[in-house]
């Protein structure tokens, strides 16, 4: 089973795809900004969604945000997406 949420990329590949380095990915994980899958042996496996999130983190860093600010932005973006989905569902239910 594969999909955008399934971890398939090793840390070095994910770092290259996101345009950053391996050490940064470890820091982002420690700060709770990304949570890659782990193999039974503890190897990190990043999904396509993780790589996209890493790209978003890189973009926010380029805008001058620090990691604490990025954590807040990512949380607000997730809340916004969830609320937009709720509104779509409620509108669809009201039309039905």
CB distance 35 to 29 below 8 Å: yes
Give, for all 96 residues of the chain, the pLDDT tens digit.
568 899 999 999 999 999 999 999 999 999 999 999 999 999 999 999 999 999 999 999 999 999 999 999 999 999 999 999 999 999 999 998
Q: Domain for residue 33, yes or no?
A: yes
According to the model, what pLDDT value does residue 84 have?
98
Number of structural domains found in the chain? 1
CATH of residue 71: 1.10.1660.10
Q: Domain for residue 1, yes or no?
A: no
> Structural domain of residue 35, as residue ranges?
11-95
Residue 71 burial class via C-beta count within 10 angstroms: exposed 0-12, middle 13-18, buried 19 and up: middle
According to the model, what pLDDT value does residue 3 have?
85
Alpha helices in the chain (DSSP H): 11-18, 22-30, 48-62, 67-95
Q: Domain for residue 6, yes or no?
A: no
Q: Domain for residue 36, yes or no?
A: yes
- Write down the pTM of the prediction: 0.89
According to the model, what pLDDT value does residue 21 have?
95
């Amino acid at each position: 089973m594969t999909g955008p949420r399934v971890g398939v990329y090793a840390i070095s590949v994910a770092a290259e795809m996101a345009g950053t380095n391996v050490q940064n990915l470890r820091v982002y994980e420690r700060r709770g900004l990304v949570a890659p899958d782990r193999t039974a042996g503890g190897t990190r496996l990043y999904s396509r969604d993780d790589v996209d999130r890493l790209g978003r983190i890189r973009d926010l860093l380029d805008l001058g945000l620090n990691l604490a600010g990025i954590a807040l932005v990512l949380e607000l973006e997730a809340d916004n997406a969830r609320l937009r989905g709720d509104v779509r569902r409620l509108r669809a239910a009201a039309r039905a």
